[in-house]
Chain A
Amino acid sequence: MTMSKHPMNPFNHDLAAPDTPLVNVQIDGIWVQVPKGMNVVEAANKFGRFIPHYCYHPKLSISGNCRMCLFEMGTPKMGPDRKPIIGEDGKNEIAWMPRPQIGCATQVSEGMGIRTDSPLAKECRNGVMEFLLINHPLDCPICDQAGECKLQEYSNDYGKNYSRFVEDKVKKPKNVDIGERIVLDDERCILCSRCVRFSKEVVKDDVLGFVNRGGHNTLTTHPGKRLDNNYSLNTVDICPVGALTSKDFRFKMRVWFLKETNTISTWDGTGCNIVVGSRESTVYRITPRENEAVNSCWMPDEARFEFHELQRDDRFTRPLVRVQNDFLPSDWKDTLDQVGQKLKKYSGGQIAIIGSARMTNEELYLLGLWAKELGVTLMDVLPRPQEADGFLISNDGNPNSTGAKILGVSRDGKQLPVIAGQIASGEVQALVSFGEDPADCGIPAASLDKLGLFVFAGILPNASTSRAHYILPTAGFVEKRGSMINILGRLQRLGKAVPSPGLARDDWEILRDLRSASTGGNSIHHYEDVFRAMASAHAEFAGLSWSKIGDLGVPLELGAAVRGQESSKPANENLTLGI
């Protein structure tokens, strides 16, 4: 893995190429070495000198418009021989320039002096801070950005605490509906152009721009255009103020109440790294988490709303046992005992298992183990081929196809017709489905009615669940731990943000108990036991543990048999290059 420039980002100001030579620069009086050409904001940040900024974003082009990162710059003082004058400390003396420079657009060079906290730098910052606030509505109490607003933060650090502005503020459009998922408040906008640059440079959907002039400058969409692309909500994330807000999240929850959990999106095979914001047992929003090997700082809009499915009223929250045409709520022990007893009546050849490439590796491992113990050979997952968008949506709608393959549950969907045929013919009399609707797998309702036992473990009702004999409520992707392998072969972790509702349980626990009930005891007690057992059974995970995966995941050495097929590669070559 190299730290090469991430191809999704035309700009990567925070990452220097590995062979970049270092230069000596003086930051606030201390000489340090930083990669040549790195901008001053990033260089100073490396050494704990934070230079505040609004318009600068490490993954976007440099605009230089906010002027918040002004600093005092010096160059090597030259002697009459045009050579730097060397001081007592063996370093060059510095000639300080009277005119401040912007940190974002200034690249470090040998002998440069940087003052981030000098009277001049402070004066510049205070001045810019005041300018940004004079026409700002100061409506923090009703603003969703409050708590994560750079205007708030920097005004606290660099502001005046009082206003010298006694004029009428500029009036601009408010509550502007610029897209299906986004609302714009132009009075809050500080015209930093991050959203404009993101749309143009990253998504290539150049719909945003400024109209009018001077103090009346206004952000808007071009006539007849809307900010409706599938990455529009990233503009909300990078908006340093409350100008762009998400319709889905606004007015729902104060951000400082949100607990943040690092996890990954299970929307598709990309496995975007995300942060889940939750309070008590409710998820309120999902935002992208930076991972240069996967999604950089971005994620598609549709993947942000995955959690709403888990909040549906018709979600299964208790084990259900069918009695004639009714489902009666039950408890776990009874239900699993009954399922175990019933399964014992069938031979391995009479049982089919439909797993899911949406399950975690740990779940898939236990499922495979259980199938082996039951003597089941008919087992597969439902493939979800889809169209890649050339950016972060891959051509695989399943988040863990690779894991399902490695752990032997997936046969690329080839066994699904066999299962359907043998159910129809009566050879298979018991079906266990984890999460997938048999109807989607080519098993018609009439076939299901022939089954002696149909166990469905999942979250939501589907076309087939009314035919199930047992329904086992499982945990959603934000409600459990586990690991998945994305289309690039990167092993990543799911983190548990909220508890499952009602009696719904982690799938791995259900599988553990099903194993106990149907095939006898096992030695798995904790989640970590599952990973440990899996890692010792499958070479791909050799040497890894749950904690070693870390928040950013690890690339796996995968054999060609698992990874090689073109079908599992994203149409977006960018993604493959990212590793």
Chain B
Amino acid sequence: MATEQRRIILKNIDVDGYTNDIGCYIKNGGYEVMKKAFGMEPVAIKDEVKKSQLRGRGGAGFSCGLKWSFIDASKVTKPIYLICNADESEPGTFKDRQIIHKDPHQLIEGMVISCFANSVKLAYIYIRGEFPEGARILERALQEARAKNFLGKNILGKGYDLEIYVHRGAGAYICGEETGLIESLEGKRAYPRIKPPYFPAVLGLYMCPTIVNNVETLCNVKHVVDMGGDAFAKIGTPNNTGTRILCVSGDVNKPGYYEYECGALTMGELINDVCGGIRGGRKLKAIIPGGSSSKVLRADQTYKIKQKGADGQMADKTITLEEIPMDFDTLAAVGSMAGSGGIIVMDDSRDMVDCLENLAEFYAHESCGQCTPCREGVLWMKKILHRISHGHGRGKEDVDLLQNVADNIAGRTICAFGEAASWPVQSFLAKFRPDFESRAGETAGKEGK
């Protein structure tokens, strides 16, 4: 049996009688950590975050402490901005939405602490256009916080000013890319910026130093300050600290969101014990472990990882899919990523061609179209897949072409969307190539599924 959930972020969420208003939050100890933080030096808070080894929960898993260290408030003459990336759009991911809807003050408290630590006077919550209710809840929560002087001028008499605004997106996946988000926030088309030179920490929002953090990451900051960086770093495994909210969707009996310590449970435990196994007693076929952009993992394959043996030396170990522990480093080691925590489970009834076509359609629809390989290539991949799945494939030639198109996109684009769109194609073809070749060999009218 798997370990118990360790609900830190989700502690109060879905608890009977817990509401998302400020009274309920304060009754449950809310904003106490903020008061604690105000008693600390901003630099000390940043140190705790560094010590905590907190990694970003948005998808890339970048060290939060390192990101914050790029900006030295004592040397910066321009304003510093903090943006909460609440553009949760990665297919298969639905954790931030729960926080925003059910515990918005946790996010606001985390933001106030993060802003204080980084000398930020103005912060934004960029929320996706498809979350109108979330935006409304956040607006109300911010109003409540202002009324209590947790925001605004001279917060709690500490001489610190901070304002947070909610900005709603207009329904584009690319707005989750941090520089695209910044462009959108500036009122422009969300075309991601070229890096160099436009690193947010240097030339971010309005060309000022800017920190962009995910909702869950900012909530974690509160808990880092609460328990101290060292204590936080003890949760999970080394370099994979804290908890992770796992969003499980697809062919399991109990899809949903669960919070576990990083690496505390394996993929198999998650699917079988936590999520009640594969639906309808079917067999597991494949898993996309970190949002739709992460590379697919095949159930009947084995994976090589390095693990510390009993002698303390790193040793190669071969494990099955179900034995993969759910943490950042292991998922990277097996050729995928923990990404946004969106775990998509596919059983043996799923046709991989159809699954990939579905994903390709999403990316073709969401490519911003700024740079050539992504704009042209992603739509091309969708068209090839559509053709193959509709019985107009040209056999191996099409599969090779699809592979080559994906290879010509990845690593050649302005932002990570190029990888996000081509990794699924590359990995599906790598793992399920025979499925594609046989489907592409079928002629029109014969598919009859």
Contacts and interface: CB of A to CB of B under 8 A. Distances in A.
Contacts of B317: none
Contact of B369 (A132, A167, A209, A212): A212
Contacts of B375: 131, 191, 214-215, 217
A127 B408 contact: yes
B403 interface: no
Nearest to B421: A214
Contact of B189 (A64, A106, A210): A210
Interface string A414-447: 0000000000000000000000000000000000
B89 interface: no
Given A132-B372, A132-B376, A167-B383, A214 B364 contact: yes
A213 B374 CA distance: 11
A215 B408 contact: no
B172 A127 contact: no
B194 interface: yes
B367 interface: yes
A215 B411 CA distance: 19
Given A100-B411, A100-B412, A191 B369 contact: yes
A127 B196 CA distance: 23
Contact of A135 (B191, B376, B384, B401): B376
Contacts of A64: 194, 371, 414
Contacts of B414: 64-65, 67
B12 interface: no
A134 interface: yes
B379 interface: yes
B404 to A, nearest CB: 8
Given A70-B412, A128-B412, A131-B377, A215 B194 contact: no
A555 to B, nearest CB: 35
B387 interface: yes
A16 interface: no
A345 interface: no
B379 A209 contact: no
B401 A164 contact: yes
Interface string A156-185: 000000001111101000000000000000
A67 B384 contact: no
A164 B404 CA distance: 11
Contacts of B378: 214-215
A215 B379 contact: yes
Given A164-B401, A167-B380, A67 B372 contact: yes
B372 A131 contact: yes
A64 B401 CA distance: 26
Given A167-B380, A214-B365, A131 B373 contact: yes
The number of chain A residues touching the other chain, given as a range, is 35 or more
A65 B379 contact: no
B388 to A, nearest CB: 11
Interface in A184-217: 190-191, 209-210, 212-217
A62 B194 contact: yes
A526 interface: no
B413 interface: yes
A82 interface: no
Contacts of B387: 166-167
A105 interface: yes
Nearest to B384: A167
Given A67-B413, A124-B412, A127-B412, A217 B194 contact: no
Pick from B376, B408, B411, B414 the residue with the most CB of A within 10 Å.
Answer: B376
Contacts of B372: 65-68, 128, 131-132, 190-191
A217 B172 CA distance: 14
A471 interface: no
A216 B408 contact: no
Interface in B330-373: 364-373
Contacts of B172: 213
B378 to A, nearest CB: 7
Interface string A82-104: 00000000000000001110100
A64 B373 CA distance: 12
Contact of B412 (A67, A134, A170): A67
A164 B384 CA distance: 11
Contacts of B374: 214
B418 to A, nearest CB: 10
A130 interface: yes
B371 A65 contact: yes
B197 interface: yes
B379 A105 contact: no
Nearest to B172: A213
A105 B369 contact: no
Nearest to B374: A214
Nearest to A128: B372
B362 to A, nearest CB: 11
Given A99-B411, A128-B412, A131-B408, A66 B367 contact: no
Nearest to A215: B379
B379 A170 contact: yes
Interface centre among A68, A127, A132, A214 (most CB of B within 10 A): A214
A381 to B, nearest CB: 50
B371 A66 contact: yes
Contacts of A214: 364-369, 374-375, 378-379
B369 A213 contact: yes
Contacts of A106: 196
B370 A65 contact: yes
Contacts of B364: 214-215
Contacts of A217: 369-370, 375
A134 B365 contact: no
A191 B367 CA distance: 14
B8 to A, nearest CB: 36
Interface string B288-316: 00000000000000000000000000000
Contacts of A213: 172, 365-369
A135 B375 CA distance: 11
Contacts of B189: 209-210
Contacts of A191: 369-370, 372, 375
Interface string B397-413: 00001000000100111
A168 B364 CA distance: 15
A130 B377 CA distance: 9
B366 A165 contact: no
Contacts of B197: 105
A129 B56 CA distance: 36
Given A131-B373, A167-B380, A191-B375, A215 B367 contact: yes
A201 B90 CA distance: 35
Between B196, B197, B365, B370, the greatest number of chain A beta carbons within 10 A of the residue's beta carbon is seen for B370
Contacts of A216: 369
A511 B380 CA distance: 68
B158 to A, nearest CB: 42
Contacts of A168: 383
Contact of B380 (A62, A70, A123, A134): A134
Nearest to B408: A127
Contacts of B368: 213-214
30 contacts: A62-B194, A63-B194, A64-B371, A65-B191, A65-B370, A65-B372, A66-B371, A67-B371, A67-B414, A70-B412, A98-B411, A99-B411, A124-B408, A124-B412, A130-B408, A131-B376, A131-B408, A134-B376, A135-B376, A164-B401, A167-B383, A190-B372, A210-B369, A212-B369, A213-B368, A214-B364, A214-B366, A214-B368, A214-B369, A215-B380
Closest 8 CB pairs of A and B: A215-B379, A127-B408, A217-B369, A214-B367, A131-B376, A64-B194, A167-B383, A214-B369
Interface of B: 172, 189, 191, 194, 196-197, 364-380, 383-384, 387, 394, 401, 408, 411-414
Interface of A: 62-68, 70, 98-100, 102, 105-106, 123-124, 127-128, 130-132, 134-135, 164-168, 170, 190-191, 209-210, 212-217
